[in-house]
Amino acid sequence: MVYVLNIDGQPLMPTNRHGNIRRLLKFGQAKVVKRCPFTVQLQYRSDTNVQEVSLGVDAGSKTIGLSATTKDKVLFEAEVMLRTDIVDLLATRREARRTRRNRKTRYRKARFDNRRKGEGWLAPSIRQKIETHLNVVKKVCQILPVSKITVEVASFDIQKIKNPDIQGEEYQQGEQLGFWNVREYVLFRDNHTCQCCKGKNKDKRLNVHHIESRKTGGDAPNNLITLCETCHTDYHIGKIQLPKSIKRGMVFRDAAFMGIMRWAFYNTLKEKYSDIPVHLTYGYITKNTRISNKLQKTHYIDARCISGNPLAESPSEVYLCKKVRCHNRQLHKFNISKGGKRKNNQAPYMVKGFRLFDKVKFNNIECFIFGRRATGFMDIRTLDGKRISPCAGYKKLKLLETRKNYIVERRQASSYPYMNIGVSLAEMR
């Protein structure tokens, strides 16, 4: 599929007439503006007659499904993988700032909570994901004449998930009701007994231990466990391991994100695309449509059902996209190496003419640079992380496309790992 823009940059209907596109490019009547997905812009005035194109968006906290369809045909389908490293990066920055201030301004007055948050403030991790949703919708509208947008949202009752029998006033009476703080609740929950040695060490000093690092796991009760002083110390110096039965409880981070982002995303879409109808739908409607039409469960097929044309002719290719980090302002590694020195955290911006996440061709395989050495050897992989070569020489690489905020890989529908259009799971078994 070749996507076409008119001379003013407005999207027209895409085409499969590749021979016609080659002739236009050969005689200078069109120019290439984007390689993946392949998009050309006409250099002459043309008709602007277009069909109605419906865009379905399967919103998610880790993956977005996109499908632009007409009544008869799928024009564009993609899955976009979101960044999930924001919380870890912010926590690292916060720790570095605190240690630096402790070294240089030990008597500085604590001012960690004296900033006012404006109306509509969102945490950076949530804001980044919402902005990514808006950006991918914008990118589709730049290459296709979208006439309708439908977004699937979800609402989760987290307390209902924890306790299916909860009713009425119990919503205001959480598990920590009557306790001074989280520590007191965790000690009471564990019966003031070490969950590792079960009191065999006879150590009366008890600590509250984070199962998952506090940096990313937080201080939720399901991430805390009671350990005696002896077991706590031995664990952190590597003498013992916690029993396999000790695991973190259910995480509701994704459910909380979907509850926060649904209205922020929907309202922003309505403001930005006031000339296009924007509708909401829900997961149970999508599921019913998918099952009734015997389609597989994937993000882009869900988006096709959301668009309102589940039986549209399937495309020959599917795009896999990933949002990547383009800039790294951290100068040194956070952990101190031997000798009290911190290693540099930043690699050279350019190595032998290549940058991180550049799209290259190696042995007739399109892949991306995931790692670089100053000697010119590159770690190249596909977008889903499959390693092609851990040390490919730069002389064997051909630069196809410089890296951007989104790296895109085009895959044939037959080779896409999840795709088996029109076959139900029951029939596959």
Which domain-ending residue is among 194, 219, 236? 236
pLDDT of residue 421: 37
- Residue 188, in any domain of the structure: yes
Q: How far is CA 107 from the centre of its chain?
A: 40
pLDDT, residue 259, reads: 85
Q: Is residue 26 part of a domain?
A: yes
Q: Is residue 205 part of a domain?
A: yes
Residue 358 placed within a domain = no
The crossing angle, in degrees rounded to 10, of helices 283-292 and 299-307 is 100
- Is 222 part of any domain? yes
Give the pairing of strands 365-372 and 377-381. antiparallel
The pLDDT value given to residue 413: 66
| pLDDT, block means (10 residues), the chain with 429 residues | 93 93 94 92 90 93 94 93 89 84 78 82 90 94 94 85 83 84 92 90 91 85 92 90 86 85 90 92 92 91 93 89 85 80 79 91 91 90 89 92 88 53 34
Question: Where are the extended beta strands (E) located within 82-230?
Answer: 146-153, 206-210, 224-228
- In tens, the pLDDT along 40-98 reads 999 999 888 899 999 999 999 999 999 999 999 999 999 999 998 888 888 888 888 88
In a domain, residue 296? The reply is: no
Going 34 to 40 to 43 to 45, the CA torsion angle's sign is negative
Q: Is residue 224 part of a domain?
A: yes
Nearest by Cα to 322 from 136, 138, 137? 136
Domain range for 210 is 175-236
Among residues 407, 411, 375, 371, the alpha carbon closest in space to that of 389 is found at: 371
> What is the C-alpha to C-alpha distance for residues 79 and 90, in angstroms, rounded to an integer?
26
Is-contact 322 406, C-beta < 8 A? yes
Number of domains in the chain: 2
Distance CA 226, CA 269 (A): 46
Closest C-alpha to 56, from 68, 39, 74: 68
Residue 194 in any domain: the answer is: yes
> How far is residue 311's CA from residue 318's CA, in Å, rounded to a whole number?
16
Q: What pLDDT sits at residue 429?
A: 32
